[in-house]
A and B are shown apart, each in its own frame.
Chain A
Amino acid sequence: MDKDIITLTVHGKDFLGKVQGRKGQTVLEVLRDNHIHVPTLCYHPKMPPYGGCRLCIVEIENMRGLPPSCTTPAVDGMVVHTHTDRVFQVRKSVLELLLAYGDHNCLLCEQTGNCELQDLVYEHGIEKIRFKSDYKSKPLDDSNSMIVRDPNKCVLCGRCVRACLEVQVNGVIDVALRGSDSCISTFNGMSLKDSNCVFCGECVSVCPTGALTFKQARFKGRPWELKKVQTTCTYCGVGCQMELNIKDNEIVKVTSSHEIRGPNVGNLCIKGRFGYDWVKHPDRLKTPLIREEGIFREASWEEALSLIAQRFENIRVKSGPDSIAFFTSARCTNEENYIMSKFARAVIGTNNIDHCARL
């Protein structure tokens, strides 16, 4: 028997029995691996656990208090209760406090339908907020064209901080101030635009609420209206896997996820994340163009291709196939490069084909 295997007894919401995990896992990881639900907000599988939201608290026999499952190491023989009345009550009070000290009006929020806080509030059957508060609205950081930061929707889960520091290792943001004034801040409270942020968008991608949103995507489509198409980024040679979020034949935003297999494990950079608007740019070429007396005119495909075929044929016959040359492209697909190689070699009969690999 594998000595790294541990067994836990779980009294869950819809589960009672023993589950197995590995030594070194946290209680939450064992529960998740066994598809036992525990609510979380600050936990994200991409990042080290934080233990701040206190929603994943559980009761563990022979342990005092309500340990958070995300930071508690799983030990063989543990008996874990995930949904006792006490646990449920504390979770509810956490959620009500978050609602009381923020501006969580789902009708006015971009993230409606894609908000973990919204889901959790629903899961806990919260209909009214018992806590009165003197919460005052804070100003947005709307200074750049990519990311909108709305501190009123921030639950201070610290995911963005860890995404910036632990995943992208840029460390642009951290928690600032103390007590109920605590907030996520850049150095010296600068706007994101003036900070040393490189706009990879990692923070937005892990934000569980509408505190961080993609500006270009705002009001362009509800989550359930978007069709996600997984593809490969067209910029550098890393080949990041990303999802184009499409509505009405338009790219609304670009997302990725650690659950998608690829060299980037869900990370992107500014170009892949935000540099897609040129796809719809009015300058895009839409018809073939033929130069006549120095000026381009629009032409049909038939006309353009016939002209090229005829000119190439003439030149080949007159000056030989090696008088024709091809630049293929490091930006086109393999299939297209292959076809151009085939075209140059089999149709024209020349090896004069190269591309900008060296540039």
Chain B
Amino acid sequence: MTNSIEELEKADVILVAGSNTTGMHPVIASTIKRAVRSGKTKVVVVDPRKIELVNHAELWLRPKPGTDVAWLNGLMHVIINEDLHAKGYIAERTEGFEDLKQAVSTYSPERVEEISGIPKADLIEAARLYAKAPAASIIYAMGITQHINGTDGVKSVANLAMLCGNVGIEGGGVNPLRGQNNVQGACDMGGLPNVFSGYQPVTSKEVREKMGRAWGVESLPEKPGLTIVEIVDGAVKGDIKAMYIMGENPVVSDPDSHHVRRGLNSLDFLVVQDIFLNRTARLADVVLPACCFAEKDGTFTNTERRVQLVRKAVEPPGDARPDWEILCDLARHMGYPMSYPNASAIFDEIASLTPSYAGMDYARLADGGLQWPCPSKDHPGTKYLHKDGFARGKGLFHGIEWISPAEGTDEKYPFLLTTGRVLYQYHTGTMSRRSVALNERYPECLVEINEEDAERLGIKSGDKIRVSSRRGRIEATASVGDSVDLGTIFIPFHFAEVPVNELTIAALDPIAKIPEFKVCAVRVEMVGEE
């Protein structure tokens, strides 16, 4: 997030796009709902599903899945057409506006209605609401990103925000909500193939030398590594021989599970380090027992870039050890001296090598944490980014064309499948499905289907139905209602026994390599029919 969670209560308009906030980030959803309740804030929801926030929204736009760039361009078309854009801001702080203007010029409300199904009048009203707000925030999540043009979607969101001068102000911003507790931190720490911690590129000689000195090695690899999906492809092809998986469950979480399983099975050697023997761990050669969050010290970085302490509260079961201890021990077994007295000492090393974390230490984090960038010990942290300018100098507009999803519906696969999460479960369910309370609320995988479609197919809530795509098929229980639009179904991916990712397509965004979880074509039928 460029801005902070608390600032949502200061926004005049919040555009929520592709985020089922009440389900995925309930505490942020409450903040948004409180803002609405106070009378200050208006919410515009853009989502193919009738999410709970719709009940609190001033306006709900329901696009067809995979049309985000189109409706975002449409909003900008209207804003520029009606002269509602922030001309001073654009002139002073951005470049490339003419490119953008050119690109969005063809996205008239009529054309956008044709592509996305959003009524022209609603699009215009949403554009006016957003553009006229003194401070408008955009909240988005995987609904925008998990597409083959996910990067385009993100850039379009940024275009819109800059167009109205909403980046670098309190209560505004471009605010992606991160789905997992420390997905922000894992990226910040260099858990990516192309960067060290703090997004320092591996291609930079200077950076490699700095890291090499600190880590006591002569050289570090300069070629960016492979991404998740590429690693799996590499394993299938035989280029990748061994893997070390820590706290991940790609067999359930990644697209096209068959392919993932084939890749992992092709490895010479697989190590999985986890807290449970999950589906991925069952394929391993060696499984290492790790501590969960309650059994170790450390830090998580949340979606608003806030680094906060994790504190040990209970002893781990059996011989389980914190992940970092295991890795350090393994390094020593491989002849590399790596040892730290505690997590705090690791953090101090991180701070010394990572400019955006440089001012942090455990003592400073103890009360309320700190938001990066926090470059020095006397820096209070950063509530919102780009206050005085963008990292690259000027904010760059990108003219972007909409492209249709990788897989469209046809006679054989007439439904669009969109996947996601539900409030009561978490990710691949390793933890949440072992919680009595959570399973009482949501014990089995439900396929959400529109009531009209269901009636046509003779499906009632509670019926067992089969969903198939070109890649696989699954069986699950139907839940009939109005949460999804005609022609669309929704299936959560928490349930290993209903592996929805056997259906999804491993089509990737060419830049971010993000899979298109939000659209693929499927067929729906009652179990027993063929």
Chain A contacts to B: CB under 8 angstroms: 144-146, 166-169, 193, 198-200, 216, 227, 229-241, 244, 246, 249-251, 261-265, 267-271, 274-281, 283-291, 296, 299, 301, 304-309, 311-313, 315, 318-319, 321-347, 349-359
Contacts and interface: CB of A to CB of B under 8 A. Distances in A.
Nearest to B508: A358
Interface residues of B, number: 148
> Considering the complex of A and B, which 8 residue pairs feature the smallest CB-CB distances, nearest first?
A286-B318, A239-B302, A333-B298, A351-B225, A329-B247, A261-B368, A237-B178, A169-B33
Chain A facing B: main interface SS: mixed
B314 A279 contact: yes
Contacts of B192: 353-355, 357
Interface in B421-459: 423-424, 426-427, 431-432, 434-438, 440-441
Contacts of B302: 232, 237-239, 263
Contact of B215 (A269, A288, A333, A342): A342
Nearest to B235: A325
B248 interface: yes
Chain B facing A: main interface SS: mixed
B204 interface: no
B400 to A, nearest CB: 19
Interface string B286-330: 111110111110111111101111111111011111111011111
B221 A345 contact: yes
B155 interface: no
B202 interface: yes
B441 A335 contact: no
Contacts of A327: 228, 231, 243-246, 248, 250
Contacts of A308: 244, 271, 286, 330, 333
Nearest to A215: B437
Contacts of A274: 435, 437-438
Contact of B424 (A271, A325, A350): A271
A263 B27 contact: yes
B94 interface: no
Given A198-B26, A200-B26, A238-B25, 4 more contacts: A144-B440, A238-B27, A311-B269, A326-B246
B286 A291 contact: yes
Residue picked from A276, A279, A323, most chain B C-beta under 10 Å: A279
B225 A352 contact: yes
Given A263-B27, A329-B247, A331-B181, A284 B276 contact: yes
Contacts of A261: 367-369
A312 B269 contact: yes
Nearest to A359: B253
Nearest to B288: A288
A326 B244 contact: yes
Contact of B334 (A313, A345, A356): A313
B34 A169 contact: yes
A350 B239 CA distance: 13
7 contacts: A234-B294, A238-B27, A261-B368, A288-B319, A337-B186, A338-B346, A341-B197
